[in-house]
A and B are shown apart, each in its own frame.
Chain A
Amino acid sequence: MQEGKTVLNPDEINTVLATDCGSTTTKAILIEKVDDEYRLIVRGEAPTTVEAPYEDVTLGARNAIREVEELTGRRFLSDDGVITPTQPDGSGADIFMSTSSAGGGLQMMVAGVVKTMTAESAARAALGAGAIVMDVIAVDDGRKPHEKIQRIRQLRPDMILLSGGIDGGTITHVVEIAELIAAAEPKPRLGIGYKLPVIYAGNKFARKHVEEILGEKTDLRVVDNLRPVLEKEVLGPAREAIHNLFMEHVMAQAPGYNKLMTWTPVPIMPTPGAVGNCMQTAAKEYDMSVIGVDIGGATTDVFSVFGEYFNRTVSANLGMSYSICNVLLETGLPNIMRWIPFKMDEANLRNRIRNKMIRPTTIPQTLDDLIIEQGIAREALRLAFEHHKSLAVGLRGVHRERTIGDVFEQTGSGETYIDMMELGMLIGSGGTLSHAPRRAQAALMLLDAFQPEGETMLAVDSIFMMPQLGILATVHPKAAMHVFDKDCLVKLGTTIAPLGPSSSNLKFGEPCVTVTIEYNEQVIEESVPYGSMKVIKIPEETTVDAVIRPERHFDAGNGYGRVVETQVHGGVVGVIIDCRGRPTVLPEDPVLRNQKLVEWFKAMDMYPADLLDKYAAQGV
């Protein structure tokens, strides 16, 4: 919190103005209480002004807020910033707050003793706080000391998080890492001549030594051990320290932020940290497991909340413009081509992808171009989710007492706790998903990349306001959730995707599932064979009873061949019955594959039917 300011009592907040200063665009939203509910009133946006020639973030924030002023006919700005609280003449807002990812966001390096234990916990702490983790240094990371030192010198992070050792555990190894950092004499990315902030969150008995080694050379902060015992991970104090240093160092060095900080009583949050907060609040509110993804031009963030576990990962080089070539590099051309139902020269496709990288703000004008871009997006999302699953794991190094049940249930320490059958909601965000011309396109991209099993609600963030709602949730969770549910999420519908088949002999076309839904006093029954899809049109905000009868080789949530009686939700797409199998297997033969793609696209009403007929006639 800014010095000398206090946050209002939530009951006294009727009008909220919030901005998110992104790396290219600054977005402002106005939220107001209408009939006991908080709703989005208007939004405005303007280019971010952190870079030259402006070099003052508040100019972009003012421009975005000015759009809000024009649209409402009310005044929110004075010479000093945002007018707070609301004035008798109706001008101003009760509270103003902001998030930021401008200027490259928060870039960190983390270090620990054992790569898969304390170093991994440190990485989770940094990622959860909204950072991009540039590298993870550990005693056992396979690099020689001089290589590690060289690496620390090359990178210029905003800060380093150093962990290592449980309380009472190793001191030597923690000190060894501290010595490496001291030897490297790392310099911060911003602010020439400043000392690099280092947060120590390791073995408390090594603090004295770490202070001796790093106290002079760095701006050292000591917080509670993030792994006090093997069985426990306590990330809160380290994350709080990261947020504080983000404000003190990174934001304070960025042009204009000192001014922006004086406009708000709530500390500026890193954008991804705020989005994570929004996801956690949503999971709590809906009482279900949630996965969220934000696919941007440079990076793809994945968030997951399963029970008490919250995780965020950033795939720093998987994006749709700036790093689109890296998607190609990581997945390979055949994996992209498999989503494209028409003939395409490989060299031409490669050149197109490169041209998108160098001119990142362009948009697909032709349908062919759109289909290519959505094919690449599926791969970017899929890879980002693979990355997420590898970090969203139980604590490693924990000794578990095995019971007879464990013999059958192979969930041990170090395994991912992402259970796609348990997943309740999958939320997509970012231009490719939020601005897909037809919502069904976003739905199928999410299904193909994430492969949810059983019954899962699909949704997209309509205008990317999760950052502002995430920071609002720190002050007024109820208001944030009203807007999240009513104005932010566009519900696409529940998907029913049976797991299986359990037998590899099963062929496309054989029976898979029968779904019976009661809607509008009518009984709708759909039997969908293996390898096919079907959409039942049930509108948004409608919940209906459903009976799902999978065949013996398929599991809809209760076990193979067992009936599931549940409720499913409508949406702008409808209830999607996806019988393509989990995992979905695409036919290897290109002619068959293209036929199937066209069939699925038609079932989902993804693209104009005449175009799909043209592709079907083309063959390969």
Chain B
Amino acid sequence: MAHAYTPGLKVTEKAVIRKTRRLPIPGEVLVEKGQKVSPDTIVARTSIPGNPQTVNVANLLGIEATDVPDYMVKKEGDFVEEGEVLARYTYFFGRFKREVTSPVTGTIEMISKVTGQVTLREPPIPVEVDAYIEGIVEEIIPREGVVVVTEGAFIQGIFGVGGETTGTIRVAVDSPDDVLTASHIESDDDGKVVVGGSLITSDAIQRCAEVGARGIVAGGIIDHDLVEYLGFDIGVAITGHEDVPVTLIITEGFGQMKMADRTFNLLKKLSGLRACINGATQIRAGVMRPEIIVPGYEGEGESASDDRYLSEGLVIGTPVRIIREPYFGLLAEVVELPPELQLIESESRVRVLKARLEDGTIVTVPRANVEIIEA
């Protein structure tokens, strides 16, 4: 295959960013093409049918299912309040009666003569989609949503938990090597996205939650700290829906890992600006990585676009990060790309590259074990 490497994560000052904001089922689009939107602008709305509830009237009244319609006080389509009588069965010349009341407020959707069940539908549940980022509505997807476009800084992490939120960036450590602890968190970090260095500790996460920080960005996290924060262990790499107070974005991986200088320096430049962040990660077909977007940031250089995904790949001089033992986490520059397969220590024959580490050492690694640090 032509591209036997892992496409890198984007860390760029200036990029064109497009976000598709789509409803789960058809509804109404509330904005127009060309309209300026902010993160909390509602761009589309719909309502999903309310929760259904079933009541087995035949069993509760002690009658045959086929007889249920005869004893219903309400009919299909009727609106009922919680506690209102749905069906009534009288016997012994009307002197005794049994009644079934509605467990919820809603509409009677179906009365079944086969099962004796009555289905009640609670009122519709409104669903809204916001713009998530500040930008311009570039495209309307009729009845489904919009595409919002913006230009600004764009940083991808490797793994995250927690959903979309916004906050002001504050870099809380001096260097990308530093460990972010509770002492770095200030009482006015309320509403902030706090940036750490090589590791985020369990007490720092706790402190961020206490002061009301919106997000944390750091190089690494220890496996059991993540489990402790979530209250459960993650088995499969699909995240973003966790019910957690602070969105977490890890840029390098598990364990203590220095944040890439490029990422750290850019986050420093972005200090004080409002960022839109999302911890959602999905590692499979349709890869989704956590992200930090700062709309409107006017960085230096040419604006990168999505077309970069189609870029050439590894060439001599490409900056890479090694992503597997024995050089896990080290940054390097490609110095040679031998075309033929080579034998590595594990005795696999694979395509390799030679790379110069930051300390000048030249190492050989499988091409599959590097990722390009994308501009």
A contacts, CB < 8 Å to B: 23-25, 45-48, 50-53, 102-104, 145-146, 149-150, 171-172, 175-176, 179-180, 182-185, 187, 192-193, 209, 213, 297-298, 317, 321-323, 325-326, 328-330, 347-348, 350-352, 354-355, 357-370, 435, 437-438, 608
Indicate if the CB atoms of A357 and B326 lie closer than 8 Å.
no
Q: Which chain B positions have C-beta within 8 A of A323? A: 235-237
- How far in angstroms is the closest Cβ of chain B from A238? 23
> In the complex where A187-B25, A323-B237, A359-B323 touch, is A51 in contact with B52 (Cβ < 8 A)?
no
A185 vs B281: C-alpha distance in the bound complex, in angstroms? 28
- How far in angstroms is the closest Cβ of chain A from B33? 20
Q: Is B303 an interface residue (CB 8 A)?
A: no
> In the complex where A358-B159, A363-B324, A366-B325 touch, is A46 in contact with B254 (Cβ < 8 A)?
no
A46 vs B2: C-alpha distance in the bound complex, in angstroms? 8
Indicate if the CB atoms of A50 and B285 lie closer than 8 Å.
yes
Q: Which chain B positions have C-beta within 8 A of A369? A: 324-325, 346
- How far in angstroms is the closest Cβ of chain B from A51? 5
Q: Which chain B positions have C-beta within 8 A of A209? A: 114
> In the complex where A175-B112, A298-B284, A365-B366 touch, is A25 in contact with B324 (Cβ < 8 A)?
no
A124 vs B35: C-alpha distance in the bound complex, in angstroms? 52
Indicate if the CB atoms of B310 and A362 lie closer than 8 Å.
no
- How far in angstroms is the closest Cβ of chain A from B336? 17
- How far in angstroms is the closest Cβ of chain B from A363? 5
Q: Which residue of A lies closest to B343 (CB)?
A: A437
> In the complex where A23-B285, A51-B286, A365-B345 touch, is A358 in contact with B223 (Cβ < 8 A)?
no
Q: Is B190 an interface residue (CB 8 A)?
A: no
Q: 0/1 per residue, B118-132, Cβ < 8 Å to A?
A: 010100000000000
Q: 0/1 per residue, B209-235, Cβ < 8 Å to A?
A: 000000000000011100000000111
Q: Which chain B positions have C-beta within 8 A of A317? A: 235-236
- How far in angstroms is the closest Cβ of chain A from B187? 32
> In the complex where A172-B114, A183-B119 touch, is A47 in contact with B3 (Cβ < 8 A)?
yes
- How far in angstroms is the closest Cβ of chain B from A48? 8
> In the complex where A322-B284, A347-B224 touch, is A363 in contact with B366 (Cβ < 8 A)?
yes
A280 vs B26: C-alpha distance in the bound complex, in angstroms? 44
Q: Which chain A positions have C-beta within 8 A of B53? A: 146
Q: Which chain B positions have C-beta within 8 A of A358? A: 158-159, 237, 253-254, 281, 283
Q: Which chain A positions have C-beta within 8 A of B366? A: 362-363, 365
Indicate if the CB atoms of B325 and A365 lie closer than 8 Å.
yes
Q: Knowing that A149-B52, A325-B234, A355-B328 are A-B contacts, what are 14 other residue pairs whose CB atoms are under 8 Å apart, sorted by A's residue number?
A: A51-B285, A104-B285, A146-B52, A179-B119, A185-B49, A298-B236, A325-B235, A347-B223, A355-B323, A357-B237, A357-B283, A359-B253, A361-B6, A363-B348
A217 vs B72: C-alpha distance in the bound complex, in angstroms? 25
**Within B107-150, which residues are at the interface with A (CB < 8 Å)?**
109-110, 112, 114-115, 117, 119, 121, 143-144
B contacts, CB < 8 Å to A: 1-3, 6, 22, 24-26, 49, 51-54, 65, 109-110, 112, 114-115, 117, 119, 121, 143-144, 158-159, 222-224, 233-237, 253-255, 281, 283-286, 306-307, 309-310, 323-326, 328, 344-348, 350, 365-366, 368-369, 371
- How far in angstroms is the closest Cβ of chain B from A55? 11
Q: Which chain B positions have C-beta within 8 A of A348? A: 255
Q: Which chain B positions have C-beta within 8 A of A176? A: 115, 117
Q: Which chain A positions have C-beta within 8 A of B286? A: 51
Say which residue of A102, A145, A213 sits within 8 Å of B285 (CB atoms).
A102
Q: Which residue of B lies closest to A146 (CB)?
A: B53
Q: Which chain A positions have C-beta within 8 A of B52? A: 146, 149, 183-184
A180 vs B110: C-alpha distance in the bound complex, in angstroms? 11
> In the complex where A183-B52, A187-B25 touch, is A360 in contact with B283 (Cβ < 8 A)?
yes
> In the complex where A172-B65, A183-B52 touch, is A362 in contact with B368 (Cβ < 8 A)?
yes
Q: Which residue of B lies closest to A25 (CB)?
A: B1
Q: Which chain A positions have C-beta within 8 A of B253? A: 351, 354-355, 358-359
Say which residue of B222, B309, B323 sits within 8 Å of A362 (CB atoms).
B323
Q: Which residue of A lies closest to B371 (CB)?
A: A359
Q: Which chain A positions have C-beta within 8 A of B119? A: 179, 182-183
Indicate if the CB atoms of B236 and A192 lie closer than 8 Å.
no
Indicate if the CB atoms of B236 and A350 lie closer than 8 Å.
no
Q: Which chain A positions have C-beta within 8 A of B24? A: 187
CB-defined A-B contacts under 8 Å, sample of 23? A25-B1, A47-B3, A146-B51, A149-B51, A179-B54, A209-B114, A322-B236, A325-B236, A329-B233, A347-B222, A347-B223, A354-B253, A354-B254, A355-B254, A355-B328, A359-B324, A360-B283, A362-B366, A363-B369, A367-B345, A369-B325, A370-B348, A608-B347
Q: Which chain A positions have C-beta within 8 A of B25? A: 187, 192-193
Say which residue of B158, B236, B237, B284 sits within 8 Å of A23 (CB atoms).
B284
Indicate if the CB atoms of A437 and B348 lie closer than 8 Å.
yes
Indicate if the CB atoms of B347 and A437 lie closer than 8 Å.
yes
Indicate if the CB atoms of B344 and A365 lie closer than 8 Å.
yes
A398 vs B361: C-alpha distance in the bound complex, in angstroms? 70
Q: Which chain A positions have C-beta within 8 A of B65? A: 172
Q: Which chain A positions have C-beta within 8 A of B371? A: 359
Indicate if the CB atoms of A103 and B346 lie closer than 8 Å.
no
Indicate if the CB atoms of A365 and B365 lie closer than 8 Å.
yes
Say which residue of B158, B285, B365 sits within 8 Å of A359 (CB atoms).
B158
A53 vs B286: C-alpha distance in the bound complex, in angstroms? 10
Q: Which residue of B lies closest to A323 (CB)?
A: B236
> In the complex where A104-B285, A146-B52, A355-B328 touch, is A179 in contact with B115 (Cβ < 8 A)?
yes
Say which residue of B121, B309, B346 sits within 8 Å of A370 (CB atoms).
B346
A370 vs B350: C-alpha distance in the bound complex, in angstroms? 14
Q: Which residue of A lies closest to B25 (CB)?
A: A187
Indicate if the CB atoms of A179 and B236 lie closer than 8 Å.
no
Q: Which residue of B lies closest to A104 (CB)?
A: B285
Indicate if the CB atoms of B114 and A171 lie closer than 8 Å.
yes
Q: Which chain B positions have C-beta within 8 A of A146? A: 51-54
Q: Which chain A positions have C-beta within 8 A of B22? A: 192
Q: Which chain A positions have C-beta within 8 A of B236? A: 298, 317, 322-323, 325-326
Q: Which chain A positions have C-beta within 8 A of B109? A: 183
Indicate if the CB atoms of A365 and B369 lie closer than 8 Å.
yes
Q: Which residue of A lies closest to B369 (CB)?
A: A362
Q: Which chain B positions have C-beta within 8 A of A329? A: 233, 235
Q: Which chain B positions have C-beta within 8 A of A328? A: 235
A182 vs B114: C-alpha distance in the bound complex, in angstroms? 15
Q: Which chain B positions have C-beta within 8 A of A297? A: 284
Chain B CB count within 10 A is highest, among A45, A357, A362, A437, for: A362
- How far in angstroms is the closest Cβ of chain A from B370? 9
Q: Which chain B positions have C-beta within 8 A of A175? A: 112, 114-115
Say which residue of B115, B233, B281, B306 sits within 8 Å of A172 (CB atoms).
B115
Q: Which chain A positions have C-beta within 8 A of B283? A: 321-322, 357-358, 360
Indicate if the CB atoms of A354 and B306 lie closer than 8 Å.
no
Say which residue of A47, A171, A363 sits within 8 Å of B368 (CB atoms).
A363
A92 vs B234: C-alpha distance in the bound complex, in angstroms? 49
Indicate if the CB atoms of A325 and B369 lie closer than 8 Å.
no
Indicate if the CB atoms of A364 and B222 lie closer than 8 Å.
no
Say which residue of B117, B223, B347, B348 sits within 8 Å of A351 (CB atoms).
B223
Q: Which chain A positions have C-beta within 8 A of B235? A: 317, 323, 325-326, 328-330
> In the complex where A355-B255, A369-B346 touch, is A53 in contact with B237 (Cβ < 8 A)?
no
- How far in angstroms is the closest Cβ of chain B from A572? 15
Q: Which chain B positions have C-beta within 8 A of A48? A: 285
Indicate if the CB atoms of B345 and A351 lie closer than 8 Å.
no
Q: Which chain B positions have C-beta within 8 A of A350? A: 223-224, 254
Q: Which residue of A lies closest to B352 (CB)?
A: A365
A357 vs B233: C-alpha distance in the bound complex, in angstroms? 13
- How far in angstroms is the closest Cβ of chain A from B234? 6
> In the complex where A150-B51, A329-B233, A352-B325 touch, is A365 in contact with B346 (Cβ < 8 A)?
yes
A437 vs B348: C-alpha distance in the bound complex, in angstroms? 5
Indicate if the CB atoms of A325 and B237 lie closer than 8 Å.
yes
Q: Which chain A positions have C-beta within 8 A of B323? A: 355, 359, 362
> In the complex where A179-B112, A355-B328 touch, is A438 in contact with B347 (Cβ < 8 A)?
yes
